[in-house]
Each structure stands twice: as C-alpha cells, then as structure tokens.
Amino acid sequence: MKTLTVSVVTPDGPVLEDSFEMVSCKSENGELGILPGHIPLVAPLTISGVRLKGGEQSSELIAVSGGFLEVRPEKVTILAESAERPSDIDLERAQRAKERAERRLQTKQDDIDFKRAELALKRALNRLDLKQGS
C-alpha cells in the first residue's frame, strides 16, 4: 500500500517523522482523513488527537494543541503549538492541569481568564483522553 511521509513539528522541534497509510485529524471545519495522493490542503487544527495509521493494524496517536495541517500528495506536515505522544504525557500533571482549569472556570472572572481556562481545560482533557486510550 502507498504511504505518506508525516512530519509533526512544534516550536520546540520535530516530534515525529515517519511513513503512514492514513492521517485522521480534526480541523476547525470538521474531521479529515488524508490518504496518499490527497489534493493539496492547508487547514487550521483544533485541540485534538491525530491518528496515524500504519500497516498491519498499527496506529499511533499524537495529542496536538492547535496549529496547522499542510497536505501535499505524498507528504503531510503538522505544525502544532504543542504535540505529545501518549508515552510522553505525564498523567498526574495533566490531571492537575485539568483541575486547575476547572477551578478557574468556576470562579468566572473576566472573559480573558475564562477563555484561557477553557483552552487549558481542552488541552488537559485531550492529553488525558489520549493517555488513557493508549
């Protein structure tokens, strides 16, 4: 089967570069499934998990916190604000971040703090989901 070269890059450097048969991710406009030969595309990503399907039922998950997806026929580049493999996620730290964000949301201060807390909660929940689902 044909494959795509997939690169996941953050401001801190590369997280992954490998070949996969399919990439599934969530853009701001909905879920995307990318196969080799896909038309060129650039899309903003949401805070979510990216599933990378390899051969023989193998797959890899990566937690991304926003960013952009660039698709070319044989290459997918994910430029993420942050990206972590489940093995790199500290479960206790993610749980503490979730609890902090929930507390901030309950205090209902100004809009800026609310939006930041809401994003922090989404990031923490995404990391927890991926870590516990792996």
pLDDT at position 107 is: 75
Task: Evaluate whether 4-86 and 90-133 have a shared fold.
Answer: no
Which residues 6+ apart lie within 8 Å of 83 measured at CB?
8, 9, 10, 15, 16, 50, 62, 63, 64, 65, 67
**Gyration radius of the chain's alpha carbons:** 16
Round the average pLDDT of the chain to a whole number and report it: 87
Least confident of 52-61, 78-87, 123-132: 123-132
CATH level 2 (architecture), domain 4-86: Sandwich (2.60)
> For the whole prediction, is pTM greater than 0.95?
no
| CA-based end-to-end distance of the chain | 25
Sign of the four-CA dihedral 30, 42, 78, 56: positive
> Where are the domains positioned within the chain?
4-86, 90-133
CATH code 1.10.1050.10 for 90-133: no
User: In the predicted model, is pLDDT for residue 13 greater than 70?
Assistant: yes
